[in-house]
Amino acid sequence: MTVTDDPSGTLRRTPLFDLHQEQGAKLVPFAGYSMPVNYGPGILAEHLHTRKAAGLFDISHMGQIRLTGPEAVPALETLCPAELAELGPGRMRYSFFTNEVGGILDDLMVTREAEGLFLIVNAARKDADLAHLSQHLPHIGIEPLFERALLALQGPAAASVLGRLAPGVAAMPFMTAMAVDLVGIPCFVSRSGYTGEDGYEISVPADGAEVLARRLLAEEEVAMIGLGARDSLRLEAGLCLYGHDIDETTTFAEAGLIWAIGARRRREGGFPGAQALTAEVSRRRVGILPEGRAPAREGTVIVAGDSPVGGPSQAPIGAVTSGGYGPTIGGPIAMGYVAAAQAAVGTEIGLILRGQTHKARIARLPFTSHRYYRG
């Protein structure tokens, strides 16, 4: 996670801003918003709490968009490679907008609704995504819902906690969604998230967000969790962060995301950059386990494993895109891109840290097993 500066001093606030202050949050600029990076217990404790109980995250900075009309499904398939035509109401897909060479303009979640599609896109890209949709889908109803709040309840206790408010949600399988009243507030709940844990994302009207958040926090298993732990959780789960592990210069093939493209879409194409499905890949996204305790941060140069101790003048074979300490792993972990010939699990590599080569090896992703509820 990269914290951004705010030279204009015009950071936006989510509907939970006052609650964050009350909870002792350390607020930082992120994607144009004042967001909590952590609270009193700190990132390590918040990470571990989510793994063993339930963490409540404010992700209201994300963009919510609804596409309406009978042509919404085939229209969106012209911009992203998701298999949507056979997607039943209340089912979800992970996908991405692509450019003409298969680069990733943004990754997103798509839910089929009775009369259209509901999208959740990244905070830093939501205005660009809205413009992209408006430009290419002029005959589709496009409704930005940027004023709505979005909460994520993640962890092994999430189902029992939310089930106390709405019993039906406990039976929802992973990657499904439904309209649910929570404490009298009409919400749209999906069984999804970006931590690798079981849990939910809850779209809620802005004026009901704080009421709902306080009700969830009244449950003993639930604690507020900041973006710092969300970042370490998703890194352990081997999940990409847009603008770091994926962007318009990386193709879905390089990023190892072809799994998100359905068989029909692979066969028929019909989306920008479909030729990247069969193009030769010169680099691949990999997991990295450094030896020792020193973390490899974003931008760390990767060299071949037989490189002698020395500085970054050695020929690089890649670079780290996300890295830090994995609390569940108990040591440093990272993701990055390396030359395809060096991408096999177990391959020894070197990391240039403070001018010295440190040993590491390519590791299988994810670092921690996903614990999604599949019913």
Element (H, E) at 164: helix 158-165
Count CB neighbours of 203 within 10 A.
Answer: 23
Residue 175 confidence (pLDDT) above 60: yes
- Provide the 3-class DSSP secondary structure of residue 158: helix
Give me the mean pLDDT over the 227-248 stretch.
98
Straight-line distance from the first to the last Cα atom of the chain, in angstroms, rounded to the nearest whole number? 32
C-alpha to C-alpha distance for 78 and 69, rounded to whole angstroms: 15
- Residue 95: what pLDDT? 98
Percent of all residues in the chain with a pLDDT value above 90, rounded to a whole number: 94
Residue 234 confidence (pLDDT) above 50: yes
Contacts (Cβ under 8 Å, ≥6 apart) of 331? 289, 290, 293, 325
The answer to which of 148-162, 261-275, 305-319 has the lowest mean pLDDT is: 305-319
Give me the mean pLDDT over the 198-210 stretch.
98
C-alpha to C-alpha distance for 312 and 333, rounded to whole angstroms: 20
Q: How far is CA 252 from CA 18, 226, 262, 286, in A?
A: 39, 29, 13, 13
311: its two tokens: 């500085």
Residue 129 confidence (pLDDT) above 50: yes
42: its two tokens: 């700190």
Mean per-residue pLDDT of the chain = 95
**CB 84, CB 70: distance < 8 Å:** no
pLDDT digits (tens, 9 = 90+) for 316-344: 999 999 999 999 999 999 999 999 999 99
- Residue 311: what pLDDT? 53
C-alpha to C-alpha distance for 160 and 12, rounded to whole angstroms: 33
- Residue 4: what pLDDT? 43
pLDDT tier at 52 (50, 70, 90 boundaries)? very high
58: its two tokens: 């404010």
For the chain, which domains are there? 17-60+148-236 (3.30.1360.120), 282-363 (2.40.30.110)
Residue 7 confidence (pLDDT) above 80: no
Strand pairing of 222-224 and 54-58?
parallel
Q: How far is CA 139 from CA 64, 72, 260, in A?
A: 19, 9, 27
Give me the mean pLDDT over the 186-202 stretch.
98
- Residue 9: what pLDDT? 60
Give me the mean pLDDT over the 13-33 stretch.
98
Residue 313 confidence (pLDDT) above 60: no
Residue 202 confidence (pLDDT) above 80: yes
- Residue 6: what pLDDT? 44
Q: Torsion angle of alpha carbons 244, 249, 252, 257, nearest 10°?
A: -10
Tell me which residue of 39, 60, 61 sits closest to 50, measured CA to CA.
Answer: 39
- Residue 329: what pLDDT? 97
pLDDT tier at 375 (50, 70, 90 boundaries)? confident
Residue 117 confidence (pLDDT) above 80: yes
Residue 2 confidence (pLDDT) above 80: no
What's the gap between Cα 92 and its chain centre? 15
Q: What's the burial of 147, exposed, middle or buried (CB within 10 Å: 0-12/13-18/19+)? A: exposed
Residue 1 confidence (pLDDT) above 80: no
- Residue 225: what pLDDT? 98
Contacts 24+ apart (CB under 8 A), 7-16: 12/61, 14/58, 14/60, 14/61, 14/149, 14/209, 15/60, 15/149, 15/206, 15/207, 15/209, 15/210, 16/58, 16/60, 16/149, 16/209, 16/210, 16/213
